[in-house]
Structure 1
Amino acid sequence: MEMNEKTSTGIEENVAGLLCYLLGWISGLIFFLIEKENQTVRFHAMQSIVTFGGLNIIYILLMVSVIGIPLMPIVGLIGLAAWIILMIKAFQGEKFKFPITGNLAEKWVKDVKL
């Protein structure tokens, strides 16, 4: 487990990381905008935005397609599993990166300065 530092919000790093995932991309966006200093929390926030924003887009696209409707429960289960795994890993202080979205999040956190 990494050092559990405070964040610019005053919340412990692991709790803030968990909260980044709590409401999916919405809480990720909130934490990305308010957390200015802690790169670990900013990573979790961006990973939440990319992962759950992407899943929401996929879900919406499946809803408008008759062929995609049977796939909606699978996307829902993937989202639920990702949500649980990411919250647990963040609370444990682990910087767990999902394939593709984790790498994008890591890159974009470095590129976007607020």
Structure 2
Amino acid sequence: MNQYRGYEEIPYGQQHEQQYYQQSQHPEVHPYKEQQNQQQWYVPPLSYDSFTLRPAGRFAAGLCYVGFWMTGLLFLIFQNKKRLVRFHAIQSLLFFGAVNVMYIVLINIIQASIPFVSAFAIFLFVVMNIIAVVAWFVGLINAFSGKYTKLPLVGDIAEQYINRDATLK
């Protein structure tokens, strides 16, 4: 009866008579003992110092847009070392801060119930929401990609701020 012997070197075309497995007849090497001869990779132990609360540059830049102007402000205050993070934090703060101020103005106009002015304010509110969502996605995707993509109106201001800041250091 034939029994599979793995990767034994058998000349081509020959077949060996194989026996049923019996531990006393075949003293085999334990497979884990064979693995001891293989190269093992060194993994440094985890320590408290290896974890930080400061995310990497692209990740932090992307997080500047997650909470609109509030996270932009937080990252500008607490994580202002990297140029990419500062740029996106300032841009998020300025753009979504301006959008928030416009929301307040438009909501007050809508609540005033002036016939044609309120209808126009509702239209502007919808258009501004569409622009804000598109700008949010563009900023979020480009920040996570590590790109300096300027949003309309505030991108130049953010760029001037980080360039001015770079010349002072």
Category of TM-score, reference length = shorter chain: 0.7 to 0.9
Cα deviation, 1:35-94, whole Å, max 9, x if unaligned, reads 131111011000000010011111211111132123211111111111111000111111
Aligned to 1:27: 71
**Distance in 1 of aligned mates of 2:149 and 2:59:** 15
Identical amino acids, percent of aligned pairs: 33
Aligned to 1:101: 154
Counting matched residue pairs gives: 106
**Distance in 2 of aligned mates of 1:38 and 1:50:** 18
Q: Pick from 52, 62, 70: which aligns with 1:18?
A: 62
Q: CA deviation at 1:9?
A: 5.6
The answer to whether residue 94 in structure 2 is matched with residue 50 in structure 1 is yes
The answer to whether residue 143 in structure 2 is matched with residue 90 in structure 1 is yes
Q: What TM-score do you get using the length of structure 1 for normalisation?
A: 0.83
Q: Is the 8 A contact 1:21 1:83 kept in 2?
A: yes
**Distance in 1 of aligned mates of 2:70 and 2:145:** 22
- Which amino acid in structure 1 is aligned with residue 152 of structure 2? P
Distance 1:18 1:107, change over 3 A: same
Structure 2 unaligned segments of length 5 or more: list them: 1-51, 111-116
Matches within 5 A, 1:54-65: 54-65=98-109
Q: Which structure is richer in relative contact order (CA contacts within 8 A, separation 6 or more)?
A: 1
Q: CA deviation at 1:96?
A: 0.5
Secondary structure of 1:97's aligned partner: coil
Aligned to 1:71: 124
**Distance in 2 of aligned mates of 1:101 and 1:9:** 29
RMSD across aligned positions (CA): 1.9
In the TM superposition, structure 1's runs of 4+ consecutive aligned residues that sit over 3 Å from their partners are: 109-113
**Distance in 1 of aligned mates of 2:127 and 2:85:** 29
Q: What TM-score do you get using the length of structure 2 for normalisation?
A: 0.58
Distance 1:19 1:74, change over 3 A: same
Q: CA deviation at 1:26?
A: 0.1
Q: CA deviation at 1:111?
A: 4.9
Q: Is the 8 A contact 1:9 1:35 kept in 2?
A: no
